Structure 1
Amino acid sequence: MAETISSEYYRAEIAALNDEIKDLSERLEKSTQPKIHDKYDPFDNPTEYKGFSGDYSVIEPRITEPGYKIPLTPDYEERSSLTHWYGWGATCVLLRTLLALAVTFILTFAAYAAIKLVSPDISKEVRRSYIENSSILVGINSITLTVINVITSVIGMKRAGIRLSSVLRTRDLGANSIFQYCLIGSGIWYVSTCAVKGLAVLLRSVGMSIAFSPVDQYISRGLNLAVFAMYTCLLAPITEELFFRGMLLRVFSKASQRFAVYASALFFGLMHGNLPQFILAFLMGLFLGHITLKHGSIIPAAGVHIFVNSLSLMSEILRRQLRGTDFAVEMVLIVFAVVGLLLLVILRISDRIPRTTPEQHCRGTSTAAGSVMFVITVTVLLLRIIYALFRQSI
């Protein structure tokens, strides 16, 4: 009996040793095999949101070759491919801006000519005043920007191989998250507004001035608020998110998601064409870009964008239309801002914008600066803001 137990025990020990030897052999074999990078996470960055940036083998085909090591700085072919995509994203931004200006000018001129044809006896000043103080101009702007946002988004997405379903497919998003994001958005908006007011005081001390918001001129001129509200609170948020977070963020995220967040936020701010809205749009763009990465969809960003624009418009209307409501409105906004900023701090502690590896850092801003179209677009939009600033001061 003792001999039987002893032999069974030894056989079990030998079997266990054989399994351990097999396991060690497999590990050794794997360790000696050339490493193959994951083409959807080639830089092995655990802070990034996997699957958002797309297939990096489109940029660097050698990434799928066994044993290929990503160099610290990109070689000529890889850099050229990256600058091509950075330039393409910037081209879409510039195309959007120029098309909007051109089409708006043409339609406004057509409206002016139509009024002249119908009422030839009306003076030039009266025709101009009618167009500016009716819903014609805001209607032209709303329709033009909505259509052009969609067209340039589709062009950019088609060229980059981005499917519409991929920018709408949302993960890990609930009503509670949307509510928190809206409060955070209100906090960013309120702080940005306070910063702009402080900047306005500083600029006035040197003889310059800035217009706070286009909302002021639309309300004060008695334009059709329904048309303006429809665009500002619904059409603009949806179509702008489709362009900036649906298309541009993905185009810029091929090598670094962090760079994509900052670059898309920069263009989002510059696109607004004036200093006050640049400050708000840039800061808001950072947050909207982050939650788009996190959830893989433009839906949460569009929801926040709609809420913030609606809050901004409603607060301005209440202040202007209901006398004595300034204090109450301000208190509500302050409460929203405080709660939102606290939630933002909590979010930043638990979930930050992705960091970059040294290899990704060398493929971000420094590489984008080598794209002629990227530099041209930033320069043109920046000069537009500077021109608007000096024009308001004259």
Structure 2
Amino acid sequence: MQEQQTETAGTIDPRNPFDNPTENRDYNLDYSDILPPVTAPGYTMPVLPAKLEQHNIRRFYNLGGGMLLLHLVATNIIATVLYAVFPLVLSVADRRSAGALPDNYDTIVSNYISNSSLSMALNAFVFLLCNTGIFLLGCKWAKIPVGSLFQTKKLTVPTMLRYMGLGLFLQMVSALLATFVDDLLVKGGYGTYTPDFSLSGSKLQLAAMVLSTCLVAPITEELLYRGFFLKVMSRVSQRFGIFMSALFFSLAHENIAQGILTFLVGVLLGYIATKHDSIIPCILVHFTINSYSMLCSLLDSYNEELANMFSGLSAVIILVGGAVLFIYTLIMERLPDNTPRQSLRCGRIAIGAWPLVLTALIHIGAALLYMGMNNG
């Protein structure tokens, strides 16, 4: 019985305590933060985690979920405050310059904010502030050295180009899947919600959207999800961390179209981060995906016929070339596996981390609410 409960006595590597050859040891943090005796001479790793180990594992899962929950609350509060303060500032300025204000002034201001660069700039500011702030705060509390997230090991230019091609391929595949799911929901009498990224405003609004989509989102979202959250959720298993970071990245978008894309791409980005011990290639892949979408939107607003030609030709190239890259990647590489001991320390403990569960439920509820509003 004792032989079934423990490994052979010996020295345990605290950065690979489960002796998993499929993981990148350099990506892992010291497991002695979770199980202090792991570095003791002759210590053996139990098959089932004791209460102390379970408590410490759940503590990190709670921290990951808690930071995402704090991020959710902070973005909504700050956005609400900003959208309340700006109309007041504008009304004070207009009263000083024009005197009395029209009866429909609130409507005028609301339309101005929504249809100008101000709305996009405010959103970009909120996510820049919250994504970066939660990332730094989470890394501090989890004792994650920020510099360790930018080491970028064993990455060549051809490999980086392959990752970019895979990202665009997954973007195309997710669009097809989203269309299929959307058709099924519509036939079932359910509405779907998709954010509007059309470019029909001023040049300033266009610049704000490009800045937000192509710079703020790729950098700050990767800091939060592949920087802090992936690292925390990978304390036991890199495989578990990859799928959890992809899942919550998907849920955070609160709509089917983006949810499918962000989950598939999230798995790729999580794998890249753990393999190369860096979020820099993740930022580049994220930038490529968002920039391609923005380019298609720009062309569509400029010349619809040219946009259709570009989209059609590029879609064929991306789907055919991406399929080749995808098959090659499946043959040559694979996601990290779990050892039996790791499997016993992941999902069943994460279910008890209430901030994770609550954050997921809030995002799912919001997505269903948006669908219901669209259906109405």
Normalising by the residue count of structure 2, what TM-score does the alignment of the two structures yield?
0.92
Matched, 1:156 2:100: no
Q: Which amino acid in 1 is paired with 2:85?
A: A
**Residue number in structure 1 paired with 2:275:** 294
CA separation of 1:376 and 1:112: change in aligned 2, threshold 3 A: same
Deviation per CA, 1:242-272: give whole Å up to 9, x if none. Answer: 1111111111111100000000111111111
In 2, are the aligned partners of 1:241 and 1:301 still within 8 Å (CA)? yes
Partner of residue 319 from structure 1, selected from 300, 312, 337: 300
**Residues 201-216 of structure 1 mapped to structure 2, 5 A cutoff:** 201-216=183-198
Deviation per CA, 1:20-63: give whole Å up to 9, x if none. Answer: xxxxxxxxxxxxx9412111111000001112121011101121
Cα distance in 1 for residues equivalent to 2:22 and 2:359: 30
Please report how far the alpha carbon of residue 115 of structure 1 lies from its aligned counterpart in structure 2 after TM superposition.
2.1
Please report how far the alpha carbon of residue 172 of structure 1 lies from its aligned counterpart in structure 2 after TM superposition.
1.0
Matched, 1:243 2:213: no
Cα distance in 2 for residues equivalent to 1:382 and 1:341: 31
**Residue number in structure 1 paired with 2:98:** none
Cα distance in 2 for residues equivalent to 1:380 and 1:235: 24
Please report how far the alpha carbon of residue 220 of structure 1 lies from its aligned counterpart in structure 2 after TM superposition.
4.3
Matched, 1:43 2:25: no
Cα distance in 2 for residues equivalent to 1:363 and 1:158: 24
Matched, 1:364 2:346: yes
Deviation per CA, 1:273-300: give whole Å up to 9, x if none. Answer: 2221111111110000001111100010
Partner of residue 194 from structure 1, selected from 176, 179, 189: 176
Deviation per CA, 1:301-339: give whole Å up to 9, x if none. Answer: 000000100001111221232121213322212211321
**Residues 114-125 of structure 1 mapped to structure 2, 5 A cutoff:** 114-120=89-95, 121-122=101-102, 123=104, 124-125=106-107
Cα distance in 2 for residues equivalent to 1:177 and 1:54: 25
Q: Which amino acid in 1 is paired with 2:237?
A: S
Matched, 1:351 2:326: no
Deviation per CA, 1:128-147: give whole Å up to 9, x if none. Answer: 11111111111100011011
Cα distance in 1 for residues equivalent to 2:269 and 2:255: 20
In 2, are the aligned partners of 1:196 and 1:212 still within 8 Å (CA)? no
Cα distance in 1 for residues equivalent to 2:71 and 2:115: 26
Q: What secondary structure does 1:226 align onto?
A: helix
Report which stretch shifted further, 377-386 or 86-95.
377-386
Cα distance in 1 for residues equivalent to 2:281 and 2:323: 18
Report which stretch shifted further, 299-308 or 314-323.
314-323
Matched, 1:265 2:240: no
Cα distance in 2 for residues equivalent to 1:309 and 1:284: 12
**Residue number in structure 2 paired with 1:90:** 65
Please report how far the alpha carbon of residue 208 of structure 1 lies from its aligned counterpart in structure 2 after TM superposition.
2.4
Q: What secondary structure does 2:275 align onto?
A: helix
Cα distance in 2 for residues equivalent to 1:101 and 1:275: 21
How many residues get paired? 360
**Residue number in structure 1 paired with 2:235:** 254
Cα distance in 2 for residues equivalent to 1:233 and 1:308: 9
CA separation of 1:367 and 1:64: change in aligned 2, threshold 3 A: same
Cα distance in 2 for residues equivalent to 1:254 and 1:323: 49
In the alignment, structure 1 segments of 5+ residues that lack a partner are 1-32
Between the aligned residues of both structures, percent identity stands at 31
In 2, are the aligned partners of 1:62 and 1:68 still within 8 Å (CA)? yes
In the alignment, structure 2 segments of 5+ residues that lack a partner are 1-7, 96-100
Q: Which amino acid in 2 is paired with 1:154?
A: L
In 2, are the aligned partners of 1:79 and 1:367 still within 8 Å (CA)? yes
In 2, are the aligned partners of 1:210 and 1:393 still within 8 Å (CA)? yes
CA separation of 1:62 and 1:156: change in aligned 2, threshold 3 A: same
Q: CA RMSD in A?
A: 1.5
